[in-house]
Structure 1
């Protein structure tokens, strides 16, 4: 049974209930003071607690899809950080990662069938959300995505026009599913487009790690996953090869929450020839090593330079400001990131511009990010160019 399957959750729930019942029934037998009685009570408590905790863990994971499979949970990805080195040697990556079959390939639901409130009906009236796999032309990374296509994408009067793109990144360890089910990104965008408050935009929803369960922080790790190259170069190339989207950086933005917001700022400030706008909800402003990331900066004399270049405050103080637009979402109380957000916004200088969404109170959760999302999408809509160009012009 799959890690997020209902039968597994129900079976574990039934086991937990049975353990509780057995503990209540057998408890009098272990009422004595001898070693056997003590071990019996300890064993009954341990097994019952384990069953209950496992049930709760499965329920939370099924709802939020932090891990979509047993392989992700256990980290059994056959040396995912070394995938680049393996590519092309005897076909060990499997057919799904073959670029000759397209850089955007159809995929199974990957949780999309569990997302509530997605557009329904004719695509030219309601739009459509697709589940796909994106294949990196350079990195050979294969990663899943949901792609929201607005109704105008299917309408005759827009048949030759390219659309702006927002690449949306979830937090860690959450996956693409959370962008649809809990952030409600495609549902919110569809409503804004329908009411005329947002221009028609293609939204590509992804998770920020390319080597789960490791948190790759959208970085090119020396000797490891090349996440930055994947999101800055491979993903745009793949989308342009498959969808009718813009070729100019003015039509490309990146949005994210939590660690996905951190990635959004990193990508736009480091790759202003790919993305020109970033909306970051509750981000961090520098990359640091922790138990989920491992060593992101490698060794040798370049380690300090790599660490500095991924510190956005250091970049603002020591490097030329890029000509990009950023939006930062934060809360005065309820989160710890307000002082850092204020310092970052104060440090921005031309030609870079910065705006903010500042709530009076908001915690580091989806309730806060859903409040910020409509304003962030409308800000992004004003920052991106549409229509950018006509199909066939370049």
Structure 2
């Protein structure tokens, strides 16, 4: 059962077989004797389906903005392809015998192939387990560090879930995920830097590892640096996958207080970590990226480094009117003050804050926002870096590239430049 749950659905045999079956079904439907009218009907069905798919992708992404991000060209291509295939299948339903059966089978095959292709493009659900929401990580016994100290030469980190009490905030958070490097599991662990990493919305803390592959990135770094990486804590800033309290304190929940009071207090009381903000980083992807710069810019006494991956220009929960009403008690002034650029200006000049912006080259909207915030951060006295991930958009591939590129920068900033 574990092997089945851990089967890849973004690459490998399952996806290849699915693509091959869909392609064979298309070929079987297309291979036939053509008269003028039959050729016209086939061409018209393909063209009509493709046009419908293109218009649907354009409307949902660029006009209605249903997802809050622009669909990549790869995803748009899959939408066009799936509706072209469905159009072909519908046209072929008038056939008889096996051809009609293949046409019927082509519809679900097209849908499944497109779903697999779009998922592979975004990188959200990497395995059957992730798609079904079956937990991968068990509880991390943070109190048993000495008893389970890592063996000499071991460099891989440990991952598990923890409950971080919302003592001050009362925020109804889901369990957090912690990556504990091998160096932290020794009998006398060194003082290590901390990264507070936030997933996107909708999402879960586990996404950072299952989709973002952060554990593999950290393990690779640790193997070359004596088992030392930052301790990475991924708390829940949402409360549920479909909620978005926008990392502010409001009637939607005291998310900001949870992340800036309860979470740091728990980390300091649990692990051997850096005392000064120079050793602390806050990071996030998408909605989590927005949170990272909101909270990091507002609390330079806590965080010395920010990694904002594909963050938004302003926090939002629906459109601006809905956001202002639900989270800011109807105050447009309070909403404006919560924008990252406004926070940067309000806390300027910074003396020792560094912000790393990362975004996919194909994520044009968020790339423009990253450039805007980069300029605002520079004007406020913060140091900045801009990482542009080639060939990716608003997806987890961008997160992987961003972390791979930014980790050495974070290590140097937080005092973890260990000589192998």
**TM-score, normalized by the shorter chain, greater than 0.5:** yes
Q: Decide whether aligned partners of structure 1 residues 305 and 315 sit closer, same or farther in structure 2, where only a CA change above 3 A counts.
A: same
Structure 1 residue 258 corresponds to structure 2 residue 286 = yes
Distance 1:299 1:288 in 2: 9
State the 1:203 CA deviation. 0.8
Deviation at 1:137, TM superposition (A): 1.1
- Pairwise CA distance, 1:368: 2.4
Q: Which has the larger helix fraction?
A: 2
Contact 2:359/2:398 (<8 A) preserved: no
| Coordinate RMSD, CA, aligned | 4.3
Q: Could you report, residue by residue, the CA deviation over 1:208-264 in whole angstroms, capped at 9, with x for unpaired residues?
A: 3124421122121x3231111111111111122222223322221111111111111
Retained in 1: the 8 A contact 2:348–2:381? no
Output aligned runs, 1:299-310, within 5 Å.
Answer: 303-310=331-338
8 A Cα contact 1:168 1:205, kept in partner: yes
The 1-side partners of 2:288 and 2:298 are apart by 15
Contact 2:183 2:189 in 1 (8 A): no
Is 1:112–2:141 an aligned residue pair? no
CA deviation string 1:249-299 (max 9, x = no partner): 222111111111111111101111121211111111211230799646558
Q: State the TM-score, normalized to the length of structure 2.
A: 0.61
C-alpha distance in 1 between matches for 2:328 and 2:158: 48
Distance 1:292 1:197, change over 3 A: farther
Indicate whether 1:223 and 2:251 are aligned: yes
- Say yes or no: does 1:382 pair with 2:382: no
Corresponding residue to 1:233 among 238, 256, 261: 261
Query: How does the TM-score come out when normalised to structure 1?
Result: 0.64
Instruction: Find the residue that maps to 1:241 and give its secondary structure.
Output: helix
- Asked if the contact 2:359–2:394 (Cα under 8 Å) also holds between the matched residues in 1, the reply is no
Tell me the CA shift for residue 313 of structure 1: 2.2
Aligned to 2:60: none
| CA distance in 2: counterparts of 1:198 and 1:265, whole angstroms | 29
Q: CA deviation at 1:68?
A: 7.7
Match of 1:167 among 186, 196, 205: 196
5+ residue gaps, structure 2, are 7-93, 95-103, 139-148
Residues 128-167 of structure 1, C-alpha deviations (whole Å, 9 max, x = no match): 21221211111253421221111111235xx153221101
Give the 3 Å change call, closer, same or farther, for CA 336–350 of structure 1 in structure 2. Answer: closer
5+ long unaligned stretches in structure 1: 7-30, 32-44, 70-108, 114-120, 388-394
1:286 to 287, 296, 314: 314
**Are the equivalent residues in 2 in contact too, given 1:166–1:203 (CA < 8 A)?**
yes
- Pairing of 1:1-394 with structure 2 (within 5 A): 63=126, 110-112=135-137, 122=150, 125-126=154-155, 127-138=157-168, 139-156=170-187, 159=188, 161-196=190-225, 199-220=228-249, 222-290=250-318, 295=323, 298=326, 303-317=331-345, 319-323=347-351, 324-348=353-377, 349=379, 351-385=381-415
